[in-house]
């Protein structure tokens, strides 16, 4: 069973009055882009900077909200999918655990055989088998 059928309809995001929005942002940016900061204007400059940061943050927050709403169907699908295949992951994990146990036993047995062989080969020699 390798069949997994899903249908979806890509959502459309339409920005109403896109040009007007871009004009407003460009106008604000242009009005503040060549601002010359001086000691005398620093208090006003800090206030302007704070207002611009506040505007930028609110716009970004709205973009994040829209993205979250846009992604909601995908998020719901991913939660469902993860739950649906969890039993498969559990079966794989159980088999994996069994294979690792057998491989560890086989490795220990091979190690024991090699050790016994080394002891046997060094019995009649002056070589101490413990150095291996």
Mean per-residue pLDDT pooled into runs of 10, the chain (132 residues): 82 92 95 92 95 97 95 94 95 96 96 87 74 67
Geometric angle at alpha carbon 77, from 73 and 83, rounded to 5°:
150
Domain with 127, as residue range(s), is 37-131
Q: How many domains does the chain have?
A: 1
Does this model's pTM top 0.85? My answer is no
Indicate whether 28 belongs to any domain. Answer: no
Whole-number pLDDT of residue 1: 66
Examine residue 19 and state whether it is found in any structural domain, yes or no. Answer: no
Q: Is residue 14 part of a domain?
A: no
Identify whether 107 is part of a domain: yes
pLDDT recorded at residue 117: 86
Handedness of CA 72, 74, 75, 76 (dihedral sign): positive
C-alpha dihedral over 74, 75, 77, 80, to 10 degrees? 170
Q: Is residue 58 part of a domain?
A: yes
Name the maximum alpha-carbon separation found in the chain. 98
Query: At how many degrees (to 10) do helices 42-122 and 18-33 cross?
Result: 100
From residue 123, give the alpha-carbon distance in Å to each of 10, 14, 87, 117, 119.
Answer: 77, 85, 54, 10, 6
* 70: its two tokens: 């846009």
Q: What is the predicted pLDDT for the residue at 45? A: 94
Domain for residue 10, yes or no?
no
- Whether residue 5 is contained in a domain is answered as no
State how far the alpha carbon of 42 is from the alpha carbons of 38, 46, 55, in Å: 6, 6, 20
Residue 23 covered by a domain: no
């Amino acid at each position: 069973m390798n069949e997994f059928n899903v249908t979806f309809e890509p959502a459309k995001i339409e920005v109403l009055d896109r040009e007007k929005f871009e004009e407003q942002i460009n106008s604000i940016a242009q009005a503040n882009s060549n601002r010359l900061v001086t000691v005398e204007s620093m208090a006003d400059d800090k206030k302007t900077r704070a207002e611009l940061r506040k505007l930028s943050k609110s716009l970004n927050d709205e973009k994040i909200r829209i993205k979250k709403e846009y992604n909601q169907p995908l998020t719901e699908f991913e939660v469902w999918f993860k739950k649906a295949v969890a039993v498969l992951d559990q079966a794989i994990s159980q088999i994996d655990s069994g294979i690792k146990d057998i491989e560890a036993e086989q490795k220990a047995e091979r190690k024991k055989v090699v050790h016994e062989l080394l002891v046997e080969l060094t019995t009649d020699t002056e070589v101490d088998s413990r150095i291996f």
